[in-house]
């Protein structure tokens, strides 16, 4: 009986394969001379990074739709092949190998997070293929001095808060923080931001009263909040990925401690989820740096936001915008070089500046970007860009941060 | 000194909630010899259901436990009837695989339903605290801990004061013997499994107020719960409570006085240490499997 079922299943599978094979032939017959340009990427669509991974996929797809509507790239339609690496380092390597050797894609786009981009970019480098990645600014990415790697944000992780440090140093002496606490998640993206900030602020005379590194699986922040309260710092700067950023603020509310200045690396940029997590009234005055803002006036940004809202019915996530920008970088290089020659594309990107929805981007010899992040702040339940001035959405800065509203 | 007492208080409150979360896991293991690694996923499912009830109807998340608990009981019953009952006679490793597959399936379904975003339930008291002299007790933790005590008390009464509970304990202590005196092992097993899963109802509802919830966060919870259950003794309900309190306090003390980096590692160190030094845990009984089998 069971064996009979297997036979039926096998026969059905065979039929499906034959039918699918026929379908493939038909498609190729219709495509004629101008085949689409196939761009391959692997994204963490499931697992730990599924949230940003899904957003990045949306960003790539919006870019593809916009490019195809305007006649494609080099007159050819653009087609995306996106695989799911399940947030796993081994899978992402297998995926990029498959894209290059089996699917023989024309171009590559990067994956999400330094964790995954580290091994994936090595596959691309070995195969001499340009690898523009939307999120992965850990220093280790660029210490390898890869030639084909480009990080499509404004700055590497250690320099993402430079704009905040500069702002503090620009304040009159009596408004600057005297003491600071630095809890950070042990994350290749968050920790370098805080480490660099701590060093820079110590040099500027801000005394460190507390610093700690906690692992990603930390859920209970009551103890850290309790310790921070005991030290009573003026500035609290946290290397917060997301959950931990919300968790620490919730615990600060519970212990009843509100710092005069609060900076968190990326948690506050997840606008709706952040406001939902800590209560909208409590977001007032929280600083963060960000690669992108829906309000920024850079070319194409408005169209991107509109398109995204039409298709997904919400404001794009920063991760979606970063992915869009990464694709823009690749597009600019291909358009300028006029052909798909990986070596020439890499040379062009090393020598030129590219306008993206994140602003103008340029790279050094290792693929590390050389611009500045945006300094943002929550004001009246909205995220506003405070610096740099040419794209700021407000003139005012909330300082000091008001007390928590619901404690 | 105040700081130390405060730290221990926070640890005890956290431990109280952990106790509830671990109770179902240890119960199912004690009676059925099944390590339900899907317990974490079911916990997150209940938390997301609570989120939905709170968002749509403004239902208080801890009160929502009154709805999620019977619902998760039904889910547990269905899981037992549909899947677990079929491989009752297979080796333990098969049930672990089955439950793991179930956990991943639930995670995927939750990702589709609630999207892969962090969800938070924020009733008015989520950020408030009771103040007792120099100490503060976060309201959400206190309510959560009280609810956990109520559920654990109920579970204790169920096991010790009802015939169904006696049957469950009999089946757990001696499966063959209980069958001889007329306990229907199959229906007791289904009941136990359903009760074990039902604890995730209240557990998830409480969890939703304390932490942000994400479909993939179940891995973290199941590994923590396994640490508690191993420390207390696989299958021992009082052991789970003691283990949870010890680990709750150990976690906060480590985070405060040693390093936050070591706080989460405590759970895994405990698993290792217990298995090396006292494999039956604090309150578990050492079974003569050779004779029992």
Q: Do B127 and A279 touch (CB under 8 A)?
A: yes
Nearest to A213 among B108, B129, B260 (CB): B260
Q: Compute the distance between CA of residue B244 and CA of residue A278 in angstroms, rounded to an integer.
A: 27
Rg (Cα) of chain B, in Å, rounded?
19
Q: Is A383 left (phi over 0), alpha (psi -120 to 50) or beta?
A: beta
Q: Does B142 contact chain A (CB < 8 Å)?
A: no
Q: Where residue A13 falls among pLDDT bands split at 50, 70, 90?
A: low
Cβ contact (<8 Å) for B256 and A46?
Answer: no
| Strand ranges, E, within chain B | 129-132, 135-138
Structure tokens at A309: 């809202």
Q: Are residues B265 and A215, on separate chains, in Cβ contact within 8 Å?
A: yes
B3, B14, B129: residue with CB nearest A220 = B14
B7 touches chain A (CB under 8 A): yes
φ, ψ of residue B119 to 5 degrees: the values are -115, 140
In whole angstroms, what is the distance from residue A353 CA to residue A362 CA? 5
User: B135 in contact with A at a CB cutoff of 8 Å?
Assistant: no
B216–A214 C-beta distance less than 8 A = no
Taking an 8 Å Cβ-Cβ cutoff, which residues of chain A contact chain B? 46-48, 50-51, 54, 183, 186, 212-215, 217-220, 222-224, 226-227, 230, 242-243, 246-247, 250-251, 253-256, 270, 273, 276-279, 282, 404, 406-407
Average pLDDT on A40-54 reads 90
B47: which 2 tokens? 């938390």
Residue with structure tokens 């204790």?
B156
Residues in chain A, how many? 407
What would the mean pLDDT of A338-357 be, rounded to a whole number?
Answer: 95
CA torsion, ordered B251, B255, B260, B263, to nearest 10 deg: -20
Diameter over CA atoms, chain A:
85
Measured over the CA atoms of residue A222, residue A226, residue A227 and residue A229, the dihedral's sign is positive
Q: What is the pTM of this model?
A: 0.75
Query: How large is the ipTM?
Result: 0.76
Q: What is the pLDDT of residues A51-75, one digit of tens each?
A: 889 999 999 999 999 999 999 999 9
pLDDT band at A372 (very low <50, low <70, confident <90, very high): confident
Cis preceding-peptide flag for A190 (omega within 30 of 0): no
Distance from CA of A40 to the nearest CA of B (A): 23
Predicted confidence at residue B44, as pLDDT, reads: 95
| Cα separations in angstroms, A209 against A149, A171, A181, A229, B209 | 39, 21, 6, 11, 31
Question: How close A238 comes to chain B (CA, Å)?
Answer: 14
Non-local (6+) Cβ contacts of A181 within 8 A are: A208, A209, A210, A211, A228, A231, A233, A235, A236, A237, A259
pLDDT of residue A137: 86
Smallest CA-to-CA distance from A275 within A309, A242, A304 is with A242
Residue A377, beta-bridge partner list: A287, A384
Residues of A in contact with B265 (CB under 8 A): 215
User: How far apart are alpha carbons B288 and A137 in whole angstroms?
Assistant: 55
pLDDT digits (tens, 9 = 90+) for A303-335: 999 999 999 998 898 899 999 999 999 999 999
Contacts of B128 in chain A (CB under 8 A): 253-254, 406-407
B residues 8-27 lying closer than 8 A (beta carbon) to A: 10, 14
- Chain-centroid distance of CA A281 in Å reads 26
- What pLDDT is stored for residue A27 in this prediction? 42
Alpha-carbon distances of B113 from A37, A358, B58, rounded to whole Å: 34, 32, 20
**Full pLDDT tens readout for chain B, 293 residues:** 788 888 899 899 989 999 989 988 988 888 778 889 999 999 999 999 999 999 999 999 989 999 999 999 999 999 999 998 888 778 888 889 999 999 999 999 998 898 877 888 888 888 888 888 888 888 888 988 898 888 889 888 988 899 888 888 888 777 788 888 888 878 888 898 999 999 999 999 999 988 888 888 898 899 889 989 988 888 888 889 999 999 999 988 888 888 888 888 888 888 888 888 888 888 876 554 444 43
B113 inside 8 A of chain A by CB: no
Average pLDDT value over all residues in chain A: 89
Q: Which of A132-141, A156-165, A349-358, B279-288 is modeled with the greatest confidence?
A: A349-358
Chain centroid to Cα A141, Å, comes to 14
Asked whether residue A22 carries a pLDDT value surpassing 60, the answer given is no
A73-97 burial code (b ≥16 CB/10 A, e <16): beebbbbbebbbbbbbeebbbebbe
Q: Cis check for the bond before A325: say yes or no (omega within 30 of 0).
A: no
The set of residues, in sequence order, having a beta carbon less than 8 Å from that of A399 and lying 6+ positions away, is: A171, A175, A260, A261, A285
Q: How far is B41 from chain A (nearest CA, A)?
A: 13
Q: B55 to chain A nearest CA, in Å?
A: 11
Our CA angle for B287, B288, B289, nearest 5°, is 95
8 Å CB contact between B225 and B196: no
Confidence category of residue A78, pLDDT binned at 50, 70, 90 = very high
Q: What is the nearest CA distance from B10 to chain A, expressed in angstroms?
A: 7
Chain A: residue nearest B104 by CA? A47
Alpha carbon A272 to its chain's center: 17
Helix H segments across A108-190? 114-126, 139-143, 162-170
Please provide the distance, in angstroms rounded to a whole number, between the alpha carbons at the two ends of chain B: 53
- Residue A182 CA: distances (Å) to CA of B15, B195, B252: 27, 44, 19
CA distance A133 to chain B (A): 22
């Amino acid at each position: 009986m069971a064996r009979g079922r297997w036979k039926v299943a096998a026969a059905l599978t065979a039929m499906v394969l034959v039918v699918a094979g026929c379908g493939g032939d038909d498609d190729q017959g219709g495509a004629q001379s101008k085949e689409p340009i196939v761009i391959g990427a692997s994204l963490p669509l499931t697992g730990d990074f599924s949230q940003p991974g899904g957003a990045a996929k949306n960003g790539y797809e919006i870019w593809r739709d916009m490019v195809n509507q305007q006649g494609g790239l080099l007159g050819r339609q653009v087609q995306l092949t996106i695989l799911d690496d399940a947030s796993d380092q081994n899978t992402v390597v297998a995926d990029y190998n498959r894209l290059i050797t089996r699917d023989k894609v024309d171009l590559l786009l990067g994956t999400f997070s330094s964790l995954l981009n580290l091994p994936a970019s090595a596959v691309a480098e070995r195969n001499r293929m340009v690898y523009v990645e939307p999120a992965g600014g850990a220093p280790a990415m660029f210490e390898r001095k890869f030639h084909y790697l480009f990080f499509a944000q404004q700055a590497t992780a250690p320099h993402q808060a430079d704009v905040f440090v500069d702002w503090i140093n620009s304040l009159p002496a009596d408004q600057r923080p005297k003491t600071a606490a630095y809890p950070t998640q042990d994350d290749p993206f968050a920790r370098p931001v805080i480490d660099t900030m701590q060093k820079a602020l110590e040099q500027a005379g801000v005394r460190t009263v507390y610093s700690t590194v906690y692992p990603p699986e930390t859920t209970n922040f009551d103890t850290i909040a309790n310790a921070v309260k005991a030290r009573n710092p003026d500035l609290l700067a946290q290397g917060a990925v997301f959950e931990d950023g919300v968790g620490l603020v919730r615990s600060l509310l519970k212990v009843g401690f509100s710092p005069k200045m609060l900076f968190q690396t990326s948690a506050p940029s997840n606008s709706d989820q952040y406001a939902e997590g800590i209560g909208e009234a409590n977001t007032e005055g929280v600083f963060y740096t960000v690669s992108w803002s829906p309000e920024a006036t850079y070319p194409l940004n408005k169209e991107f936001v509109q398109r995204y809202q039409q298709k997904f019915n919400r404001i794009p996530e920063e991760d979606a915008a970063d992915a869009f920008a990464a694709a823009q970088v690749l597009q600019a290089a291909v358009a300028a070089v006029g052909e798909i020659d990986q070596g020439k594309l890499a040379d062009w990107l090393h020598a030129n500046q590219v306008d993206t929805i994140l602003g103008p981007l340029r790279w050094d010899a290792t693929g590390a970007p050389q611009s500045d992040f945006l300094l943002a702040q929550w004001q009246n339940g909205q995220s506003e860009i405070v610096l740099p001035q040419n794209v700021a959405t407000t003139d005012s800065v909330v300082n000091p941060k008001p007390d928590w509203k619901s404690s | 000194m105040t700081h130390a007492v405060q730290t221990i208080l926070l640890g005890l409150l956290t431990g109280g909630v952990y106790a509830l979360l671990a109770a179902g896991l240890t119960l199912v293991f004690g009676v059925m010899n099944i390590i339900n690694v899907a317990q974490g996923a079911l916990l997150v499912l209940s938390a997301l259901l609570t989120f939905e009830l709170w968002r749509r109807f403004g239902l208080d998340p801890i009160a929502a436990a009154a709805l999620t608990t019977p619902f998760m009981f039904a889910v547990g019953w269905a899981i037992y009837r549909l899947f677990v009952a079929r491989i009752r006679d297979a080796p333990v490793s098969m049930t672990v695989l089955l439950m793991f597959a179930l956990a991943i399936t639930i995670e995927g379904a939750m990702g589709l339903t609630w999207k892969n975003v962090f969800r938070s339930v924020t009733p008015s008291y989520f950020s408030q605290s009771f103040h007792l002299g120099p100490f503060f007790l976060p309201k959400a933790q206190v309510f959560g801990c009280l609810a956990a005590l109520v559920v654990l008390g109920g579970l204790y009464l169920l096991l010790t004061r009802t015939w169904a509970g006696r049957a469950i304990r009999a089946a757990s202590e001696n499966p063959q013997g209980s069958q001889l005196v007329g306990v229907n092992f199959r229906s007791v097993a289904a009941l136990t499994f359903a009760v074990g899963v039902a604890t995730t109802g209240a557990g998830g509802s409480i969890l939703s107020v304390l932490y942000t919830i994400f479909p993939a966060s179940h891995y973290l919870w199941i590994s923590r719960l396994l640490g508690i259950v191993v420390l207390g003794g696989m299958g021992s309900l009082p052991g789970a409570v003691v283990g949870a309190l010890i680990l709750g306090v150990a976690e906060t003390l480590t985070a405060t006085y040693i390093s936050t980096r070591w706080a989460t590692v405590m759970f895994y160190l405990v698993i290792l240490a217990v298995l090396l030094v006292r494999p039956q845990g604090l309150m578990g009984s050492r079974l003569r499997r050779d004779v029992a089998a």
